[in-house]
A = this chain, B = another copy of it.
Amino acid sequence: MGAAEETHEGPAAGAPARVRLRFAPSGVDVKVPGGVTVFDAASWNGIAIDSTCGGHGTCKKCRVRITEGEVPVSKLDSRAFTPDELRDGWRLACRIQTQGDLDVDVPPLVTRPKAATVGVGRQVILRPAIVKRHLQLEEATLSDQRTDVQRVMDAMDDLELTVPIGVLRTLGPALRAAQWDVTAVVADGELIGIEAGDTTARRYAIAFDLGTTTVVANLLDLDTGTPVAVRSMLNKQQPFGADVISRISATMMDPEALAKLQELAHETLAELADEVIEQGQVAREEVYEVVLAGNATMTQIALGIDPEPLGVAPFVMAAMGYEGLRATDLGVHVHPLAPATVFPSLGAYVGGDITAGILATGLDRDRRLRLFIDVGTNCEIAIGNQDRIVATAAPAGPAFEAASIRCGMRAAPGAIELVTIEPDGVELGVIDDAEPVGMCGSGLVDAVSELVRVGLLDASGKYLTDEEAAERLPGLADRLVTVDGERVFVLAWTGEPGDAAKSVFLSQRDVRELQFAKAAIATGWRLLLEELDIPESDIQQVLLAGSFGSYLSAKSAIRIGLVPKLPIPRIVSAGNVAGEGAKMAVLSIQERHAGRALVDEIEYLELSDRADFNDRFVDELAFPGGS
């Protein structure tokens, strides 16, 4: 399907692997893959070059001057410039396929290209895969019997188009009913619709973040790059288990489960689509595309592909990426031929959500060495910069989801999410300022971190004895009690006074659970650092991603050793980066290609294959502590 378009967009055969571009007057100096156009390279690096057509060679506004390096004169150049200008090095930036190093002089803007800020502070130049063209066609005559499709193609001869049979079925009547005054809707090289009159201002798409727990839909206006509506809901697959492993197990137990799970994923996506379409008050058939980021299991299930091989060693995916999909393949009913783009997965446990997240953070474009951690039952970790990225998955277990924690709960009203412990008492932050009923993942990390800091937990994760506690921390000792034969620390007395069993507490076993989780994660990033042969202190930023990571206190994360010991401002909450990556892929075809390329660029390290994993894991169980 998209092959023709990709040829068009891709680098020319025989181009050098990398070329250096220096832009004046900005002074920006970058290396880009040979064959990329100067226009695209500039877009990627945040340099605004004039353009109204978005690099399609039709507006002739992207004038730049080459002051160093050779660039042949293209056909369009000779129409856009005088011979004197050509001699002076003027060229159209969108026609220059870089074949060697260049110095490029960029004139000040006349038209400001549309751009949107998405991801982690990323500026994306709007260039959606969905393109609309208003066409006023000549009516057919006996001396001009071109076919209907040819007439439409000829009016857009800068695009290489394929036309699916669904469009051919409606094309003739549509052209004639509209008296040959139509708007063509093109999706990444495919003509997906012909609309009467000029509808170019109305173009929408939906970006989905299909999480195991939560699913988010963003309706975007492709003309302005702005979000029109956003909605989220719990994944309707919840009855089949909270995490991917339980859902995979369900499909292994029951041959009907896969179909049912797929249906529930489709229902979730379809309902969200309906909601954002209603909230945004747009026409359903003017939503021309959907993009989805999800982990490998969610993606395979949504596409109806048996996830069993993801759940058992050697953890094999059906495919990294999927081409030629339509929104209907995901159960989403918008424009009937709307394509669907699904972010590719790097491995069974480093899925499309992570590819999208890495795209959103620009990990692969930044000079700084950064550590990306998506904290959850399965924890994905990547370290790298523009030169190299390595990634892995660490089996953190359910501690962060608080599922295996005695008083654990999801981050909902009544969940303790912040904990401060001083020798004379405990201070809690509860979601919605409600009465505490349990603690969520961030509360758990805070609680353990604070208990380590005040010394009620030692570095090995063991509670003090009653005697030690009474001696060293008399103000807290009455909270250290025994419930069901296990030592617990009471965070909140929620039952009868003194009835620890009905309080919100943290048990010795809960502490062990968190220790295992953090040890798995720390082992993961330490092994990646070793792979890169880089000391921990070289990490310039830690990005905590995912719904859990976003709420984690940086101080606590450092204190329990979940993240490297770095100055607190370097630990950054990155938010829902998967959803942001999906939005970027909707807004820019360049970003989409970059997202696809990530699976080839990122090196995947399989931890379960490493003989030294268990020893390293044990080394990481201790809490480093610190203020």
Q: Which of A137-145, A208-216, A412-420, A565-573 lines the interface with chain B? A: A137-145
* A305 adjacent to B140 (CB under 8 Å): no
Q: Which of A121-129, A164-172, A458-466 lines the interface with chain B? A: A164-172
A241 CB within 8 Å of chain B:
no
A173 CB within 8 Å of chain B:
yes
* B324 adjacent to A162 (CB under 8 Å): yes
- Total interface residues on A, CB under 8 Å, equals 49
Q: Bound state CA distance, A68 and B335, in angstroms? A: 58
Which residues 1-50 of A sit at the B interface, judged by CB distance below 8 A? 1, 3-4, 7
Contacts of A144 in B (CB 8 A): 314
A148 CB within 8 Å of chain B:
yes
A234 CB within 8 Å of chain B:
no
Pick the contact of A305 from B4, B141, B169 — CB < 8 Å?
A: B169
Whether A149 touches B314, Cβ cut-off 8 Å, given contacts A309-B176, A323-B162, A324-B164, is: no
Contacts of A164 in B (CB 8 A): 324
Contacts of A387 in B (CB 8 A): none
* B316 adjacent to A169 (CB under 8 Å): no
A625 CB → nearest B CB, Å: 35
Q: Bound state CA distance, A323 and B3, in angstroms? A: 14
Q: Bound state CA distance, A356 and B142, in angstroms? A: 25
Pick the contact of A172 from B148, B309, B325 — CB < 8 Å?
A: B309
A617 CB within 8 Å of chain B:
no
* A319 adjacent to B150 (CB under 8 Å): yes
CB-nearest residue of chain B to A340? B165
CB-nearest residue of chain B to A303? B165
Residue among A313, A314, A319 with the most chain B CB within 10 A? A319
Residue among A144, A308, A309, A316 with the most chain B CB within 10 A? A316
A411 CB → nearest B CB, Å: 33
A426 CB within 8 Å of chain B:
no
Whether A317 touches B165, Cβ cut-off 8 Å, given contacts A142-B606, A143-B609, A606-B142, is: no
A318 CB within 8 Å of chain B:
yes
A396 CB within 8 Å of chain B:
no
A304 CB within 8 Å of chain B:
yes
Contacts of A575 in B (CB 8 A): none
A140 CB → nearest B CB, Å: 5
A146 CB within 8 Å of chain B:
yes
A306 CB within 8 Å of chain B:
yes
What mask results when residues 598 to 617 of chain A are scored 1 for a CB within 8 Å of chain B, else 0? 00000000101100000000
Contacts of A1 in B (CB 8 A): 1, 3, 162, 324
Pick the contact of A148 from B142, B148, B150, B318 — CB < 8 Å?
A: B318
A171 CB → nearest B CB, Å: 6
A155 CB → nearest B CB, Å: 15
Pick the contact of A165 from B3, B150, B316, B324 — CB < 8 Å?
A: B324
Q: Bound state CA distance, A329 and B313, in angstroms? A: 40
A147 CB within 8 Å of chain B:
yes
* A140 adjacent to B3 (CB under 8 Å): no
Q: Bound state CA distance, A348 and B145, in angstroms? A: 9
Pick the contact of A146 from B3, B140, B169, B316 — CB < 8 Å?
A: B316
Q: Bound state CA distance, A176 and B308, in angstroms? A: 11
* A147 adjacent to B303 (CB under 8 Å): no
Pick the contact of A318 from B3, B143, B147, B303 — CB < 8 Å?
A: B147
A228 CB within 8 Å of chain B:
no
* B322 adjacent to A172 (CB under 8 Å): no
Contacts of A316 in B (CB 8 A): 140, 145-148, 172
CB-nearest residue of chain B to A316? B140
What mask results when residues 102 to 140 of chain A are scored 1 for a CB within 8 Å of chain B, else 0? 000000000000000000000000000000000000001
What mask results when residues 168 to 184 of chain A are scored 1 for a CB within 8 Å of chain B, else 0? 11011100100000000
A163 CB within 8 Å of chain B:
yes
Pick the contact of A171 from B148, B149, B318, B325 — CB < 8 Å?
A: B318
Whether A329 touches B165, Cβ cut-off 8 Å, given contacts A1-B1, A318-B171, is: yes
Contacts of A176 in B (CB 8 A): 309
Contacts of A303 in B (CB 8 A): 165, 168-169
A347 CB within 8 Å of chain B:
yes
Which residues 555-569 of A sit at the B interface, judged by CB distance below 8 A? none
CB-nearest residue of chain B to A310? B172
Residue among A317, A325, A608 with the most chain B CB within 10 A? A317
A229 CB within 8 Å of chain B:
no
Q: Bound state CA distance, A613 and B525, in angstroms? A: 83
CB-nearest residue of chain B to A296? B147
A320 CB within 8 Å of chain B:
yes
* B140 adjacent to A172 (CB under 8 Å): no
Complex A-B: 11 CB contacts under 8 Å: A140-B309, A141-B314, A143-B606, A145-B348, A146-B316, A149-B318, A165-B324, A168-B305, A169-B303, A169-B304, A172-B316
Q: Top 3 A-B pairs ranked by shortest CB distance?
A: A3-B3, A142-B609, A149-B319
15 other A-B residue contacts (CB within 8 Å) besides A149-B319, A172-B308, A173-B306? A3-B3, A3-B7, A3-B162, A141-B314, A142-B606, A143-B609, A148-B316, A148-B318, A150-B319, A164-B324, A165-B329, A168-B303, A169-B305, A172-B309, A172-B316
